[in-house]
Amino acid sequence: MKTSTKKLLDRLRNAEKIRVLFVCLGNICRSPAAEALMLDSVERHGDNWRWEIDSAGIGSWHIGQLADKRMRVHAQRRGYTLTHRARQVSPIDFERFDLIIAMDAQNESDLHDIAPSPEACDRIVRMNEFVDMTTRYDYIPDPYYEGAEGFELVLDLLENGTENLHRILTE
């Protein structure tokens, strides 16, 4: 983990409010799922008042749409209801959120291009920094062209990562 990321997490541990934005390519599979799982985590831990959680996409293709039906079905089976409507990430998000979490290396690189300043870049972190389950992936793989297994894998990785993120910022 980069020193700037460690410093950011240390600062957030003491913050009154923690504002997190999850980002993927389309904002219809991975990031709305991450948002719903993170919301579930903070509600289970009883500190939802402290968190502001949202998601957005690099691309504009799906603006206004609910998450992909397959992701909604797989998530619902685990008890998570996805209600987010897709939106595109914007430079203003770097003022509105403390932590901007990218699902893969391309998202991360695109976010660096969108960030309005070098300081804003320090808010970008990869989701897999928080994933510690045994996996061969060092990113959250795009399930869009995969079958059911791809969606289940994303949910496994995100359940692990969001729970760890909550623990890291509240322990």
Token reading at 138: 């060092």
In the residue annotation, 142 being an active-site residue is answered as: yes
Min separation Cβ 77 and ligand 4NP, Å: 18
Size of the site for ligand 4NP (CB under 6 A): 10
For the window 46-85, what string marks contact with ligand 4NP as x by the rule CB under 6 A? ---------------x------------------------
Run of H or E including 79: none
3-state secondary structure 111-148: HHHHCCCHHHHCCEEEHHHCCCCCCCCCCCCCCCCCCH
30, 72, 123, 126: which one is catalytic? 30
Residue closer to ligand 4NP, measured from CB, 4 or 106 = 106
In the residue annotation, 24 being an active-site residue is answered as: yes
CA–CA separation, 102 vs 89, rounded Å? 11
For the window 128-157, what string marks contact with ligand 4NP as x by the rule CB under 6 A? --------------x-x-------------
> Using the 8-state DSSP alphabet, how is residue 50 labeled?
G
Question: Would you count residue 29 as binding ligand 4NP (CB under 6 A)?
Answer: yes
Question: Would you count residue 165 as binding ligand 4NP (CB under 6 A)?
Answer: no
In the residue annotation, 11 being an active-site residue is answered as: no
Cβ-proximal residues to 33 (8 Å cutoff; 6+ apart), any chain = 67, 71, 75, 80, 82, 154, 155, 158
> What angle (nearest 5°) sits at the alpha carbon of residue 114, between those of residues 119 and 151?
110
Residue closer to ligand 4NP, measured from CB, 69 or 136 = 69
Q: Which stretch binds ligand 4NP (CB under 6 A): 8-16, 19-27, 89-97, 108-116?
A: 19-27
Using CB under 6 A as the binding rule, the residues of this chain from 101 to 130 that contact ligand 4NP are none
Determine how many CB atoms are found less than 10 A away from the CB of residue 54: 20
CA–CA separation, 124 vs 73, rounded Å? 29
The residues binding ligand 4NP (CB under 6 A) are 24-30, 61, 142, 144
Mind telling me the catalytic residues?
24, 30, 142
